[in-house]
Amino acid sequence: MSSTCAQLCLRRIGVLCSKTSTRLHYVQSQHRIIRTASSALVNRGSFTNGSLTATQTRQRFKQQMCYLNDDSTAKYLTTEAKEHKYEGLAKTDSSEYSPALLPTTNTLPVPENEICLDLDCEVSFSALEEISDEEAVSILVPSIPPDSFTLRDYVDKSETLTKLVQLGVSLWKLEQRPYVGTMLLKMDFSRDVEPRLMFLKQIGVEDSCLSHIITHNPFILNMDLEDLQTRVNYLRSKKFDAETVAAMVSKAPYLLNFSVMRLDNRLGFYQRQLKLSPTKTRNIVSRLPRLLCGSLEPVKENLKVCRLELGFREDEIKDIVIAVPKVLTANKKKLTQIFDYVHNTMKVPHLLIIKFPQVFNTKFLRIKERHLFLEYLGKAQYDPTQPSYIALDRLVSLPDETFCTDLALATLEDFNLFQKTL
């Protein structure tokens, strides 16, 4: 009897010890779960990836803890039930007793060097929070608009644009050309613009022409000064004097953009094609310097039209070009229209057209209106052997008032009224 009571006491003591150890294991597991969840949430929060704020991290941590508490409580109740079951096994041998099941989790193992971070350590700023004067000064506010459709928004902020406006450059024309506005904004006036302007003045370009050159050719501001000087030296070597070079650059702003080889090829082409002397070649080019800048295809086409359609010989074409170089670059339709009206309607022969080639340098409507007015008055006489002869150059070059008083012997009002009848 006494031995039986002793065995029952020993079993009761064993159950109590097992219950105490089970609860101790549960508390340790609970703390381990909390540390693991905290580390996992910190790794996924704004401290690592910057994708979550401190407030969002705390909310996720609380949700995870609620889930863990519910799960752990259920597992603890299961353990308590199993402990009561073990208490009812009084008749079994104490060697067959096994402790209650410990709560299990699916958490990841915590590294040894993992440091528990405070979730409130990140400082969050508010838009309504007051800042000091030093912090306000340190905030950079862009003074220039990041993008715009016009250069007007940048004039007050860019020294280069301000000086170009003061010089008289038409920025509204430049902003219509692709990439020119960006190029000007990237330029420094003292480093990029001023040296080119001084160069143009040194070669003889007048101050009033600088704005015209830059408006039509802003790319000259990107040209190397040595290249510009080399091209000027080439023109001087071809016996163009300094004043002529300055006038050519003013009339053809793109002249100095082309290489020496291109300039030499153009001069050689006109000299060979028209069989001109060097002096006459210089004379034509200096009066129309854009001949050195444009394409040669329109020039070749006009020379062919003069020879095949208008019926002029090579020496006659040469004389026409020397008198009016614009014939080489004129519109082909305009040339044929003027020649057809003067030659076939007004009955002016080739010889007189060659003698007064300025007729190709005027408007077709001007020739037509004046001829019809003279024909209405009975004064349309273009034969030099007949009385009341009217030369072609006077017909096309005189202003309206002089034309009426000297050639038509009528008033300007009569000519204006006649124009309304056409």
Among 19-23, 225-229, 242-246, the least confident range: 19-23
Burial of residue 260 (number of CB atoms within 10 Å: 0-12, 13-18, 19+): middle
Please state the rounded mean pLDDT for residues 207-212. 94
| pLDDT tens track for 259-275 | 999 999 999 999 999 99
Q: Out of 155-169, 222-236, 312-326, pick the least confident.
A: 155-169
Separation between Cα atoms, residue 80 and residue 343, nearest integer Å: 125
Q: In the predicted model, is pLDDT for residue 86 greater than 60?
A: no
pLDDT at 287: 95
pLDDT band with cut points at 50, 70 and 90 for residue 333: very high
pLDDT tens-place string over residues 152-199 = 778 888 899 999 999 999 999 998 888 898 899 899 999 999 999 999
Q: What pLDDT is recorded for position 157?
A: 83
Domain ranges of the chain: 148-222
Residues 334-374 have pLDDT tens digits of: 999 999 999 999 999 999 999 999 999 999 999 999 999 99
pLDDT of residue 126: 65
pLDDT tens digits, residue range 90-114?
Answer: 444 444 444 444 444 444 454 544 4
Q: What is the tens place of the pLDDT at every residue in 53-64?
A: 445 545 555 555
CB–CB of 18/100 below 8 Å?
yes
Query: What average pLDDT score do residues 40-45 get?
Result: 44
Structure tokens at 379: 């004064």
| pLDDT level of residue 32 (50, 70, 90 thresholds) | low
Within the chain, what is the greatest distance between any pair of CA atoms? Answer: 171
What is the rounded CA–CA span in Å between residue 279 and residue 3? 145
Q: Please report the pLDDT score of residue 44 as a whole number.
A: 43
pLDDT of residue 153: 77
DSSP 311-370: ---HHHHHHHHHH-GGGGTS-HHHHHHHHHIIIIIS---HHHHHH-GGGGGS-HHHHHHH
pLDDT at 34 exceeding the cut of 70: no
Residue 79 pLDDT: 45
Answer with the residue of higher pLDDT: 46 or 420.
420
Residue 302 has pLDDT above 80, yes or no: yes
- Compute the mean pLDDT over every residue in the chain, rounded to the nearest whole number: 78
What's the CA gap between 89 and 97, in Å, rounded? 9
Are the C-beta atoms of 93 and 51 separated by less than 8 Å?
A: no
Confidence tier at 200 by pLDDT (50, 70, 90) = very high
27 pLDDT above the threshold of 80: no
- From CA 63, how far away is CA 31, in angstroms rounded? 16
Provide, rounded to the nearest whole percent, the portion of the chain with pLDDT above 70.
66
Alpha-helix residue ranges (DSSP H) falling in 238-331 = 242-251, 260-273, 278-287, 297-308, 314-323
- Checking if the pLDDT of 8 tops 90, the result is no
Give pLDDT tens digits for 163-174.
Answer: 999 999 999 999
Using CA atoms, how far residue 28 sits from 36, 64, 74, 166, 348, in Å, is 12, 18, 17, 82, 120
Cβ atoms 270, 327 nearer than 8 A: no
Distance CA 282, CA 167 (A): 32
